[in-house]
Amino acid sequence: MASATHFTTLEESEAHPPLEAMVVRFAGDSGDGMQLTGGQFTLSTALAGNDLATFPDFPAEIRAPQGTTFGVSAFQINFGSTAIETAGDAPDVLIAMNPAALKVNVKSLRDGGLIIADEGEFTARNLAKAGYDSNPLEDDSLARWQLVKFNISQLTLDSVKPFGLGNKEALRCKNMWTLGLALWMFDRERGPIVDWLNTKFAKKPELAEANIAALNAGHAYGETVEIGAQVRRHHIDAAPAEPGLYRTVTGAEAISVGLVAGAQLAGLPMFFGGYPITPASAILHHLSRLKEYGITTFQAEDEIAAICSAIGASYAGQLGVTSSSGPGIALKGEAMGLAFITELPLVIVNSQRGGPSTGLPTKTEQSDLYQAVYGRNGDAPIPVVAARSPADAFDCAIEACRIATRYMTPVMLLTDGYIANAAEPWKVPDMADYAPFPVAFAPPAANDDPVQPFARNGDGARPWIKPGTVGLEHRIGGIEKAPGSGAIDYSPEAHAQMTRERLGKVAGIADSIPDQDVALGEASGKLAVVGWGSTFGPIHQAVRRARRKGQDVAHIHIRHIVPFPKNLGKLLKGYDRIIVPEMNSGQLKTILRDQFLVDARPLNKVSGQPFRIAEIETAIDEALAGQDPHPLGADATQLPEPESGFDPGRQAN
């Protein structure tokens, strides 16, 4: 056998660099199983060692008419051999299972990207439902992209025919056929998916066998059929990672586990009172499976009952937790005031979604910041902590538990629909690295001295008195109390002093939180991009790209919003310009102006979709050129500054 060795030259390697990342979007009808397909592709990608980030995009309707644009469900994953911070700006590959999925998603595909379409679903009826006058697979409307079409529906039916399934049941396997093709395209193992199918359908082995056959058929189709030069096998190397145990985690899972860890570090059993609401329901579902850790879960009849039950649990000596989304948080507002004035520990998780009212139930937004900071009657500030990613939600949940128990106060933990549903790799931490913060309940009275339920320690926190503790019987409730004794007291002096004490306690939390760091860049300079919550990924990538171009820009991301870190004001004043990208009409921007008198400028997006990296890159270029960020386009909203009337931000300039 003759053989030859060729050493690749530098010029050749630079001409054909290894593929570092790929963005794939699966899209179809809400009944096509796109979330399941994406979830299993994510599992195989994690096992391959790639870094990844996902973005599940659900329809808002419970069951929109099949084949319509209202019912399109999509799952996007960005995976690569380098650090992945976002789910990707524009997909490289779009797998469209019907015309509606193509119509809703094709404009997001990058120019020259690949469309894989199930032409079996492009019937006259389905084209009409999606609003197409002609078949886009046959005209020139898709000329900007590479198009590959074949009849996935019929190929699926053929692959499962031996199992005797009905037509409708057989077509449910086409997501597995599609997954098999995707696994072939990106050099993924089928074994873990086969194991999962056998477990899922253990009681119906014929369904497991049919789905496995469809999976194998899709893989074999890619391997044996010459689909076209566009569809070829791609290999992406594993991303570098520190040694350790990793798992893929969603934000809802990370919060749930973090709450359990926080309760353990406090030495308390935990009570979770919740009511189903998108996208917060998953926290209740996850916690209900963790009873062995001293977790009690209660699905209440409404939002008010849910939070009141959690307050009752805290009064009884457990760590009370509740969660909801914006509309439910609004209903919980009065009870939050009760937890604040009774000074009981409580963790409130707000998984934000588009509003107001029912708004966009399955889309992401950050528009509850004002609600979190100001949304109660009276002077009732509560600490606010914001998670920046699914994995970060674990540490933020522990931090919320620490603050609530140390300072005897309700705490709000902010996430959003993107964080709650998205997934990323998470290095499982060693809990020995976390300092415990055990709770000490007030001991029984040793003498006849009157009980002082509102006496305060060095943190300004009152004692936590368990009901039935000998000699510590006291009044508790929503009516104003006398300082120290807790007796009912309506006097101006008592109310003024108690108001100052409660506000001072919350402000004093700043003494036990870290100084604000700079996530990327220098501690002073021409421009700071300031964010909070799930904007971390796109901001970080945009700032990283800008700095590679030599631009003087830094990224600051705020976790503690109430109270702010003590050094934040001084840090912000070290920059010539500040822009604040957020998925609302400029709420953090206004709070920063109010608190620190800095000229923060907004970059707002309220389309129900996360920021793209390119949008923030453009805003950075404009800010460094002395311009305000311009409107982001049809899929976003740049709200103008008011020309008249009161605006707290304008008073700060």
Which contiguous run of DSSP H or E holds residue 315?
Answer: helix 303-315
User: Quick one: 534 and 508 in the same domain?
Assistant: no
Q: Which amino acid is at 172?
A: R
The pLDDT tens digits for 352-402 are 999 999 999 999 999 999 999 999 999 999 999 999 999 999 999 999 999
Q: What are the tokens at 173?
A: 């396997």
Confidence of residue 15 (pLDDT cuts 50, 70, 90): very low
- The answer, yes or no, to whether residue 533 has pLDDT greater than 90, is yes
DSSP code for 223: H
Q: Is 488 a member of any domain?
A: yes
- The answer, yes or no, to whether residue 139 has pLDDT greater than 50, is yes
Reading phi first (left if > 0) and then psi (alpha if -120 to 50, else beta), residue 516 is in: beta
Pairing of strands 246-250, 423-427: antiparallel
87 and 54 Cβ atoms separated by less than 8 Å: yes
The pLDDT tens digits for 550-581 are 999 999 999 999 999 999 999 999 999 999 99
Confidence of residue 532 (pLDDT cuts 50, 70, 90): very high
410 and 329 Cβ atoms separated by less than 8 Å: no
Phi, psi angles (nearest 5°) of residue 270: -120, 140
Tell me how far apart the alpha carbons of residues 402 and 439 are, in angstroms, rounded to a whole number: 10
Q: What is the CATH number of the domain that holds 533?
A: 3.40.50.920
Which pLDDT score is estimated for 58? 85
Q: Is 173 a member of any domain?
A: yes
Q: Is 563 a member of any domain?
A: yes
Mean local confidence (pLDDT), 229-257: 89
Q: What are the tokens at 178?
A: 């599609």
Tell me how far apart the alpha carbons of residues 248 and 520 are, in angstroms, rounded to a whole number: 25
Confidence of residue 115 (pLDDT cuts 50, 70, 90): very high
β partners of residue 273: 298, 322
Q: How many domains does the chain have?
A: 4
Q: What are the tokens at 339?
A: 């937890």
Q: Which amino acid is at 525?
A: G
State the residue for tokens 């086969």.
194
DSSP code for 298: E
Tell me how far apart the alpha carbons of residues 543 and 530 are, in angstroms, rounded to a whole number: 11
Tell me how far apart the alpha carbons of residues 527 and 539 are, in angstroms, rounded to a whole number: 13
* Bond from prior residue into 563 cis (ω within 30 degrees of 0): yes
Q: Which of 378, 403, 433 is the last residue of a domain?
A: 433
User: Quick one: 427 and 466 in the same domain?
Assistant: no
Q: Is 646 a member of any domain?
A: no
439 and 268 Cβ atoms separated by less than 8 Å: yes
Tell me how far apart the alpha carbons of residues 541 and 612 are, in angstroms, rounded to a whole number: 10
Which pLDDT score is estimated for 232? 78
546 and 553 Cβ atoms separated by less than 8 Å: yes
Q: Provide the domain limits for residue 161.
A: 17-224
Tell me how far apart the alpha carbons of residues 137 and 141 are, in angstroms, rounded to a whole number: 8
Which pLDDT score is estimated for 446? 83
- The answer, yes or no, to whether residue 174 has pLDDT greater than 80, is yes
Q: What is the CATH number of the domain that holds 151?
A: 3.40.920.10
- The answer, yes or no, to whether residue 605 has pLDDT greater than 50, is yes
Report the first-to-last Cα separation within the chain, whole angstroms: 79
Q: Is 164 a member of any domain?
A: yes
Which pLDDT score is estimated for 632? 59
β partners of residue 79: 22, 52
Q: Is 380 a member of any domain?
A: yes
Which pLDDT score is estimated for 229? 60
User: Quick one: 60 and 169 in the same domain?
Assistant: yes
Q: What is the mean pLDDT of the chain?
A: 91
- The answer, yes or no, to whether residue 6 has pLDDT greater than 50, is no
Tell me how far apart the alpha carbons of residues 118 and 406 are, in angstroms, rounded to a whole number: 57
419 and 464 Cβ atoms separated by less than 8 Å: no
Tell me how far apart the alpha carbons of residues 541 and 553 are, in angstroms, rounded to a whole number: 12
**CB within 8 Å of 480: residues ≥ 6 apart:** 341, 488, 489, 490, 494, 495, 498
User: Quick one: 121 and 48 in the same domain?
Assistant: yes
User: Quick one: 490 and 576 in the same domain?
Assistant: no
Q: Is 570 a member of any domain?
A: yes
Which pLDDT score is estimated for 492? 96
Q: Which of 366, 401, 433 is the last residue of a domain?
A: 433
User: Quick one: 276 and 404 in the same domain?
Assistant: yes
User: Quick one: 294 and 388 in the same domain?
Assistant: yes
Pairing of strands 423-427, 560-562: unpaired
Which pLDDT score is estimated for 571? 98
Handedness of CA 411, 415, 420, 425 (dihedral sign): negative
Tell me how far apart the alpha carbons of residues 109 and 144 are, in angstroms, rounded to a whole number: 10
147 and 187 Cβ atoms separated by less than 8 Å: no
Which pLDDT score is estimated for 19? 63
Which pLDDT score is estimated for 464? 97
Q: What are the tokens at 553?
A: 């820009």
Tell me how far apart the alpha carbons of residues 102 and 110 are, in angstroms, rounded to a whole number: 14
Q: What is the CATH number of the domain that holds 267?
A: 3.40.50.970
Mapped onto helix, strand or coil, the DSSP state of residue 463 is: coil
Q: Which of 384, 401, 433 is the last residue of a domain?
A: 433
User: Quick one: 401 and 456 in the same domain?
Assistant: no
Mean local confidence (pLDDT), 436-451: 91
- The answer, yes or no, to whether residue 645 has pLDDT greater than 70, is no
Report how far Cα 311 is from the mean position of its chain's Cα atoms. Answer: 26
Report how far Cα 295 is from the mean position of its chain's Cα atoms. Answer: 23
Tell me how far apart the alpha carbons of residues 228 and 114 are, in angstroms, rounded to a whole number: 11
User: Quick one: 424 and 527 in the same domain?
Assistant: no
The pLDDT tens digits for 402-426 are 999 999 999 999 999 999 999 999 9
Which pLDDT score is estimated for 8? 39
User: Quick one: 282 and 338 in the same domain?
Assistant: yes
User: Quick one: 140 and 254 in the same domain?
Assistant: no
- The answer, yes or no, to whether residue 595 has pLDDT greater than 60, is yes
According to DSSP H, which parts of 17-144 are helical?
A: 34-47, 99-105, 124-130
Q: Is 311 a member of any domain?
A: yes
Which pLDDT score is estimated for 652? 35
User: Quick one: 615 and 593 in the same domain?
Assistant: yes
- The answer, yes or no, to whether residue 543 has pLDDT greater than 80, is yes
Confidence of residue 43 (pLDDT cuts 50, 70, 90): very high
